[in-house]
Amino acid sequence: MANRKYKVALVAAFLAVLFLVPLAFLVKPSGSTGYFRKVVLEVVLPLEGVFQESIRRVGESWKRYLLLVHAEKENQELRSEVNRLKNRINELREADLESRRLRKLMGLSEAVSLPMTAARVTGAERTSVFHVLYISKGTAHGIRPGMPVLTDIGVGGRIIEASWHASKVLLITDFNSNVDALVQRSRVQGILQGAGPEGCVLKYVPSSGDVQAGDEVITSGLVGIFPKGFLLGTVSRVEKEKTGLFQKIVVKPAVDPALLEEVMVLLEQGKQEP
């Protein structure tokens, strides 16, 4: 046991000398450089340079990593801010467009000088059979079935059902829609009926009637539902049959139901509620 401890002590001393002596030679001032010191310098200094360079590179890599992490965090924050600003811009753009549409509708109300109320389109059915819209106002706002629905461009349809705060609008393109109409240029009268995807057709116009493509069709005001002079559409095609009594007149509606977002409901005189 004693011999074993003695051997361990000798090995430890040898290792200490092996590592400390070169360092002593490196730090020890000397007027001349001995052979052993030269050997130590040749071996240790290059290794020290490699070690220092490795430490420097590791440090720089770590700094770059921290910078990248910081930059990525900043990029995420900037992307979030850009997305927030884009959404805000879209909201402002939509508000501006809505304001312009409402100003046009208010201009219609001032021009007609009849009691009206504006309503927002909340839904639609545009199947091959039914062409209807749903709006955000009802009997609580003075709306009743039969009232005309208008836009700044022309006639959209009429109210067919109304609850307290919602109403159903039958569009002029629906097959069940019939409006007394006349050709503005020639004053030829007829019935404008909905034709679904085809738009509308002006029916019961005699073959001798003066109707041409491009003529504007307006409400005649005869039945009393729609006031006289509101635009219904424009004649897009006229077909005259040699043996038929009436012409086939296809009319493109002035109002595109797919684009409606707000409408004006023409209230009956004396039926407007406060």
pLDDT band at 272; cut points 50, 70, 90: very low
Top pLDDT among 103 and 80 is at 80
Percent of the chain with pLDDT over 90: 37
Residue at token pair 């009691």: 115
pTM over 0.75: no
Q: What is the pLDDT of residue 77?
A: 80
Contact assessment for residue 237 and residue 250, using Cβ atoms and an 8 Å cutoff: yes
Q: What is the pLDDT of residue 181?
A: 95
Top pLDDT among 255 and 31 is at 255
Give the number of C-alpha atoms closer than 13 A to the C-alpha of residue 127, restricted to the C-beta side: 3
Number of Cβ atoms within 10 Å of the Cβ of 17: 11
pLDDT band at 59; cut points 50, 70, 90: confident
Domain ranges of the chain: 1-113, 116-266
93-112 confidence digits (pLDDT tens): 766 666 676 666 666 666 66
**Out of 128-137, 212-221, 245-254, least confident range:** 128-137
Which structure tokens are listed for 138? 């009802």
For residue 229, pLDDT over 80 is answered with yes
CA distances from 182 to 149, 219, 237 (A): 19, 6, 16
6-21 confidence digits (pLDDT tens): 565 565 555 555 555 5
Q: What is the pLDDT of residue 81?
A: 79
Tell me the fold of 116-266.
Thrombin, subunit H (2.40.10)
How high is the mean pLDDT of the chain?
Answer: 79
**Could you tell me which residues come within 8 angstroms of residue 112 by beta carbon, excluding any fewer than 6 positions away?**
227, 266
133-191 confidence digits (pLDDT tens): 999 999 999 999 999 999 888 899 999 999 999 999 999 999 999 999 999 999 999 99
Top pLDDT among 207 and 129 is at 207
